[in-house]
Structures are given as C-alpha cells and as structure tokens.
Amino acid sequence: MNLERKILLISIVGVILASALLIHWFLLKRETKVLRVSTTTSLYATGLLDKLAEEFKKEHPNVVIQFIAVGSGEALRKASQGDADMVLVHAPGLEKEYMDKGVIIERKIFAYNYFIIVGPKDDPAGIRNLDPITAMKKIYMAGEKGLAIFVSRGDNSGTHERELFLWSMAGLNPEGKGWYKDTGSGMAQTLMVANNMPAYTLSDIGTFLKLKDKLTQLDILVSKGDIMFNIYSAYIVAKSPNRDLAREFINYLISSESQKIIGNYGVKDFGQSLFYPASSKPKSELIEAWKQLSKNSYGG
C-alpha cells in the first residue's frame, strides 16, 4: 500500500471515528432527563407551574418535569425520603426544620401572595374586614353557638400550618369541636367543601380566584395583615443526584423571564395576578419576612 492510500485510509477512519463521537455526544445531550418536583397544591392547581414548565422546556426539550402536588409538609417529607429532586413550598416553619436537618438547601424565594379568610356571603360570624386574629375569635364563638362551620385542610400543608398559627395567636384550639371539619385534602377540594356547606376556611388568594366562578356561596371576608403574607420558596434536595438540573430550574424561576410570567399570570382572566414575583419586592424585605414567619409559624 503506497503512502497516499495509507493517508487516505487514515483520514477516512478519522472521519468515521469523529462522526461516531459526534453522534454519541448528540445522543447524550438529547437523553431524556427527569426532574421530580414535590410542590404545594396551590402552585400546581392554579396552572402556574405547567406554564413555567412549558416555557422552560422550550430551551430544555430533553427535560421532563414531574410535579408531585401535595401539601407542603408532605412535599418536604418526600424530599427527606429521596422521592424528589427539589421542592416548592410555602411553610417557613416547616422549611426551617428541614433546612436545619440538611434535607433541603439553597433556598430561593421566587413568588408570594396572601392568605385570605373566606366564608358564607351572609357572614354569620360577622368577620368581614376585621383583622385575622379577631376574625378567628369570632368564628370560634359563632361555631360554639351553632352559627358557623370552619373547614380546615388538616393536611400539614403550608395553609394548614398558617391556620393553626392563627388559632394559636387567638388563644384558641378548635380541635374536636363539632363545627370544625377536616378535609385532609388540597386547597381546591377544601374550598369546594366550604362552598357546599357553606363554611369558613383559610385559603391562598390564588386558588380562590382560580375557582371563583364555582365558589358561588363564598366571599373574601378577611385579606389584610402581615400575618397573612404567603411566601413561596424553592429548594434543592441535598442528596438528589439531579442537583445541577434542579439548580438550573430554580435559576429559571428567579430569572427575569419567569418573574414576568408569574407577575402576569391570571391578570387576563381575573383582573389581577394570582401570584406576585419575588422581584417586585426588595430581596432583604422578603428574607426578613420569611425569617419572622419561620419563627412565628405553628410548630416552627
């Protein structure tokens, strides 16, 4: 074999090897990656997360995001069991416990809204426009007189945690009372139960607005007070093998693109956003509010 033929053969082999490596690299890049996200039901039920995932996938077509919608307590428990790569929750007291245990890391606040107390339109407890603690006291008194019912999620969620804190601040314990009902379910179902009775309940404003057309028997009665501030945080699960991918999605959640989507979500259909982007408040203010809520939350 002459020199020219040897050079040609070597060149052909080199091209084949380079092509094979390029195809292998391309296949690796295109390999489907699954990101498991345990999340509070309020974020998922409103449809916000599906919208954010849809936009994220435009730049990451090989990523499948699996949302596990449960209460914040259950979302954090799944993280501790290795059943999630990241969590999206709104229960500062519970979050701090799991942070202290090293289960979740790298907190990023990405959104907030407010809790509200909703109830029958005729408001038998007379709580309309009162402060939250006084409202809880009046609901309790009305319940004891057989005039009112309160429906609790009873599911160790962020909303349930805040409800228990409101009762504790009022110096009351409704557990075991006939007028105090547990659903053990998510926010949407709890609101529907409250509507059917009708009864009082605590809700995040986003889920209530999303279901407002179906909640014909309920009004927003109490919506003011720092104690009603509702902060949504994202965490990486410390022992997850997908930490880099989780971090990438969390960075997307706090990006200007995602923050704009959060701020506009719901405006067209409900006249106001269901959530507010974290970027709309000073970061230091959100962090301080989270710290206060983590200290004050029931059991936190």
Q: Are 147 and 197 in contact (CB under 8 A)?
A: no
Which residue range forms the structural domain that includes residue 255? 31-113+231-296
| Domain presence at residue 26 | no
Same domain, residue pair 74 and 120: no
Same domain, residue pair 130 and 277: no
Same domain, residue pair 136 and 84: no
Per-residue pLDDT at 19 exceeds 80: no
Q: Which residue has the higher pLDDT, 293 or 30?
A: 293
Identify the pLDDT of residue 96. 94
Same domain, residue pair 73 and 152: no
CATH number, domain of 243, equals 3.40.190.10
Most confident of 7-11, 17-21, 255-259: 255-259
Same domain, residue pair 96 and 123: no
Most confident of 29-38, 80-89, 224-233: 80-89
Identify the pLDDT of residue 300. 35
Bridge partners (DSSP) of residue 219 are 119
Per-residue pLDDT at 245 exceeds 90: yes
Identify the pLDDT of residue 8. 56
Identify the pLDDT of residue 270. 84
| Domain presence at residue 48 | yes
Per-residue pLDDT at 28 exceeds 60: no
| Domain presence at residue 291 | yes
* Residue 199 Ramachandran class (φ > 0 left, ψ -120 to 50 alpha, else beta): beta
Question: For residue range 163-177, what is the model confidence (pLDDT) as tens digits?
Answer: 999 999 999 999 999
What does the pLDDT average to over 38-50? 91
| Domain presence at residue 15 | no
Same domain, residue pair 221 and 262: no
Identify the pLDDT of residue 94. 92
Per-residue pLDDT at 3 exceeds 60: no
Identify the pLDDT of residue 7. 59
| Domain presence at residue 20 | no
CA dihedral over 208, 210, 211, 213, signed as positive or negative = positive
Boundary (domain end) residue, out of 166, 198, 227: 227
DSSP state of 147: S
Boundary (domain end) residue, out of 186, 207, 227: 227
| Domain presence at residue 198 | yes
Identify the pLDDT of residue 267. 86
Per-residue pLDDT at 224 exceeds 80: yes
Q: What average pLDDT does the structure give for the chain? A: 90
CA dihedral over 20, 25, 30, 35, signed as positive or negative = positive
Q: Count how many domains the chain has.
A: 2
Per-residue pLDDT at 290 exceeds 90: yes
Identify the pLDDT of residue 29. 52
Identify the pLDDT of residue 24. 47
Per-residue pLDDT at 27 exceeds 50: no
Alpha-carbon distance 155 to 197, whole Å?
20
Boundary (domain end) residue, out of 176, 199, 227: 227
Same domain, residue pair 132 and 222: yes
**Those residues with Cβ within 8 angstroms of residue 48's Cβ, 6 or more apart along the chain or in another chain:** 206, 262, 265, 274, 275
What confidence tier does 287 reach under pLDDT thresholds 50, 70, 90?
very high
Residue-wise DSSP of 199-258: -BEEEEHHHHHHHGGG-TTEEEEE--SGGGEEEEEEEEETT-TTHHHHHHHHHHHTSHHH
| Domain presence at residue 18 | no
Question: For residue range 262-277, what is the model confidence (pLDDT) as tens digits?
Answer: 999 988 888 888 999 9
Question: For residue range 82-140, what is the model confidence (pLDDT) as tens digits?
Answer: 999 999 999 999 999 999 999 999 999 999 999 999 999 999 999 999 999 999 999 99
Same domain, residue pair 108 and 246: yes
Q: Are 252 and 56 in contact (CB under 8 A)?
A: yes
Q: What is the pTM of this model?
A: 0.84
| Domain presence at residue 7 | no
Same domain, residue pair 122 and 219: yes
Same domain, residue pair 99 and 143: no
Q: Enter the tokens of residue 166.
A: 């409101």
Alpha-carbon distance 227 to 168, whole Å?
12
Same domain, residue pair 188 and 120: yes
Identify the pLDDT of residue 225. 84
Q: What angle do CA 196, 197, 200 make, to 5 degrees?
A: 110
Which amino acid is residue 292, in one-letter code? Answer: Q
